Amino acid sequence: MRTDLCPVRKLAEDLSRALSSVQITYPRSKEITESILELVDDISSGRGKTGHIQTVESLARMLSEDRVDRVGTEIGRMVSTVLRKHRPIFLSHIDVHYCPSGKCTILAPAPCQLACPAGVDVPSYVALVGMGRYEEALEVLREDLSFPGTLGRICIHPCEKACRRGEVDEPIAICQLKRVAFDKAYEKEAGQPLPTSHRFKEKIAIIGSGPAGLSTGYFLARTGYRPVIFESMPEPGGMLRWGIPAYRLPRQILQTEINHIKALGVEIHTNVTFGKDITYDSLKNQGFEAVFVGVGAWSYISIPVEGAEGNPNIIDCLAFLRNEHLRKSMVGRRLIIIGGGNVAIDCVRTALRLGRDEVHLVYRRSKQEMPAMKEEIEAAEEEGATFTFLSSPVRVHSNDGTLTGLECIRNTLSEPDSTGRRRPIPVEGSEYIIPADTIIPAIGQKVDMVSLKNIKGLEFSRNQLLVVDPETMETTIPGVFAGGDVVTGPATVVEAVASGKKAAQAIHGFLRELPYSEYGLLPARRQRVPVMEMHMQDRSLHTRPDMPRIDVEDRHNNFEEVELCLTPEDASRESKRCLRCDICISCGRCIEVCRDQMQVEAIHLSYVTDNATEDTDLLRPAERCIGCGSCAINCPTNAISAEERNGERRISMCGAEMSRHKLVPCASCGTPFIPGRHLDFIREKTGRDQEPFFQGNLCPACARKAGAENFGRQSPVY
């Protein structure tokens, strides 16, 4: 995603540059341009109102229609073009005080949302889950995800790596809360698709029903099309169905999500192979005006060692997973899986469920370098797999055509290279043999391009992947788009979903002849984000909940889902740990005013980008805060509030109460007006003999009145 530009900010800079130059000589043009700049600055800083855009449009029209000043005319046209092309971004700044690019700092997205390839509005759904509003949370997710229930189980969650809470203790369990939203909404029989108005008649073909193809269909259907998906396998789902074991992704969950996509109006034809049953030319002849290619990486990479080629007991990792899903066992009693990624771990844990005598995993680096998810590695060890690290295969041993073992050599690791990885170095003379009757290499996959090579005009990269425009996902053939593995090579499910979302928007623009906006796929805040009111004690919890799992002994000989859903109570507690970085932009102004100006030092936040002092202590304000409210006054996003009610002042940060103070009543009018600790603080700083303003505990209004009366008595009469 493009996150380096903001059309609002850029327009303001362009207008400012034009005004600072000597090009605008006509006074009226200069005056109008200054007015436009002032309005655009308001929008960029979050002060924009509903009528700002209409006013800017009107002023731009006045400039462009004025034939006296050529420079003014050009500026007016430029402003009108920017507004027409990027109107949703301007509206985002005004309606939900949100800059999708993050360049308007006060309106920046949260780090978790920026890290998500699909741009999911994480803070909104986390808060909604915490309040038990699961259906609303699911709707927020479905704005950007076609598979919230699936990704709530299998996502690699890059959002959690970016979570600022991780700088305090542990990241928020964002992925687990996504699952809670989906599972709990469906428990209430909610989450069913609303009828979609299919207002567009153009025919769109999608090749492949994996996460990229299904996501493209999903977002096109939500836009108003009725796309048609062609799938070569007997059931849709691609790698989600055939490559991910059921103990991680139950088939009924996947089918529920596919049924949802179909209910939106997506048509799916299975057992149809592209290049055989249908071709690009036949699709054009049937009237399809746009085509999306979402072919997955279904070919495995074999191990280049002696004795491997043509050996029938060396099994393709994906074929192994697919056939076990179909209950067609194809392996022996002693297995070796080669590799360290998630597919390798899937093969290991699947083999264990088949009751095999020995299941070894061989990886050429150490456990710390394994690219598989940490929790998956730990689960495989817990279930009984044998891990052999720092070993590389060198030879397959067979006897009379029967595989007997794998010869390996031990490795040491080099110093980290420029990418941070350590290269395995074989140790001479350290060869050894692991007995086995089946070997499953899981060292990588690639896309089979045979069906696409015959299409004239398609361009392929050096890595034999499709070349597309990185912004529009369009290939070198107009009207043909592509995404997922066929463009990136083997990648994650959430990246495939994101590519489908991006391609759907590009296809819509292509068919409607809309101007392409390079900002259109940036993260969006889906609604005005609610805050959860709580005590800071709830936010200060240091540990995230453990994901409940079925017992190890209950995992044998079955593919029941291992990980279970968090309880509503655990989900609510976890949601309260969220720092709400969509509201608090980590600017450090609260720390500055509290520490440097007031010299109270009640706020310590280690995760603040600048001005971090000590380790985060969320409970410190309750002990040291004097209730002056200076932090709230200086907060540019209203993340900190100072609210007075029932004779108390409550200082809160993103809904979490930091401190509460009893207000001292005015001796004259009786109105509570200042916290006692703040009053003591002022007296301590000014001295008890220098307190004219607070003499007798008068509120500011009464103090001014008393001062005026005193001044009148002292003034001479003329």
Residue 36 belongs to domain with CATH number: 1.20.1440
Do residue 610 and residue 689 come from a single domain?
A: yes
Q: Is residue 458 part of a domain?
A: no
**pLDDT 10s digits, 453-498:** 889 999 999 989 999 998 889 999 999 999 999 999 999 999 999 9
Do residue 436 and residue 331 come from a single domain?
A: yes
**pLDDT 10s digits, 103-118:** 887 888 899 999 999 9
Q: Where are the alpha helices (DSSP H) in 540-640?
A: 568-576, 589-592, 620-624, 630-634
Out of 576, 603, 632, a domain closes at: 576
Containing structural domain, residue 85: 7-107
Do residue 310 and residue 291 come from a single domain?
A: no
**For residue 688, pLDDT beyond 60:** no
Out of 107, 125, 146, a domain closes at: 107
**pLDDT 10s digits, 272-299:** 999 999 999 999 999 999 999 999 988 8
Mean pLDDT of 58-65: 92
Confidence at residue 20, expressed as pLDDT on a 0 to 100 scale = 86
Helix (H) or strand (E) holding 680: helix 676-686
Mean pLDDT of 533-544: 92
With cut-offs at 50, 70 and 90, classify the pLDDT of residue 401: confident
Count CB atoms within 10 A of the CB of residue 573: 17
Name which of 341, 346, 338, 391 is nearest 366 in CA terms. Answer: 391
User: If DSSP codes are grouped into helix, strand and coil, which group holds residue 552?
Assistant: helix
**For residue 239, pLDDT beyond 80:** yes
Count CB atoms within 10 A of the CB of residue 308: 17
Q: Is residue 450 part of a domain?
A: no
User: If DSSP codes are grouped into helix, strand and coil, which group holds residue 426?
Assistant: strand
Q: Is residue 682 part of a domain?
A: yes
Do residue 416 and residue 306 come from a single domain?
A: yes
Confidence at residue 99, expressed as pLDDT on a 0 to 100 scale = 87
Confidence at residue 715, expressed as pLDDT on a 0 to 100 scale = 55
**For residue 27, pLDDT beyond 90:** no
Q: Is residue 525 part of a domain?
A: no
Out of 107, 136, 170, a domain closes at: 107
With cut-offs at 50, 70 and 90, classify the pLDDT of residue 516: confident
Distance in angstroms (rounded) separating the CA atoms of residues 378 and 382: 6
Q: How many domains does the chain have?
A: 5
With cut-offs at 50, 70 and 90, classify the pLDDT of residue 707: confident
DSSP symbol at 360 = E
Q: Is residue 460 part of a domain?
A: no
Rg for the chain (alpha carbons), in Å? 31
Do residue 481 and residue 429 come from a single domain?
A: no
Beta-carbon contacts of residue 633 (< 8 Å; ≥ 6 apart): 593, 642
Mean pLDDT of 405-432: 93
Mean pLDDT of 177-191: 88
User: If DSSP codes are grouped into helix, strand and coil, which group holds residue 353?
Assistant: helix
CATH (domain of 571): 1.10.1060
With cut-offs at 50, 70 and 90, classify the pLDDT of residue 716: low
With cut-offs at 50, 70 and 90, classify the pLDDT of residue 614: low
Do residue 548 and residue 483 come from a single domain?
A: no
Confidence at residue 541, expressed as pLDDT on a 0 to 100 scale = 86
Distance from the first to the final alpha carbon of the chain: 75
Lowest mean pLDDT among 300-309, 442-451, 523-532: 523-532
Q: Is residue 287 part of a domain?
A: yes
Q: Is residue 172 part of a domain?
A: yes
With cut-offs at 50, 70 and 90, classify the pLDDT of residue 162: very high
Do residue 342 and residue 440 come from a single domain?
A: yes
Residue 579 and residue 593 in contact, taking contact as beta carbons nearer than 8 Å: no
Q: What angle do CA 298, 303, 305 make, to 5 degrees?
A: 160
Do residue 321 and residue 437 come from a single domain?
A: yes
Q: Which amino acid is at 654?
A: C
Q: Is residue 242 part of a domain?
A: yes
**For residue 1, pLDDT beyond 50:** no
Phi, psi of 398 (to 5 degrees): -135, 155
Predicted TM-score (pTM) of the model is: 0.89
Name which of 250, 187, 176, 181 is nearest 547 in CA terms. Answer: 176
Beta-carbon contacts of residue 198 (< 8 Å; ≥ 6 apart): 221, 224, 225, 226, 265
Do residue 314 and residue 440 come from a single domain?
A: yes
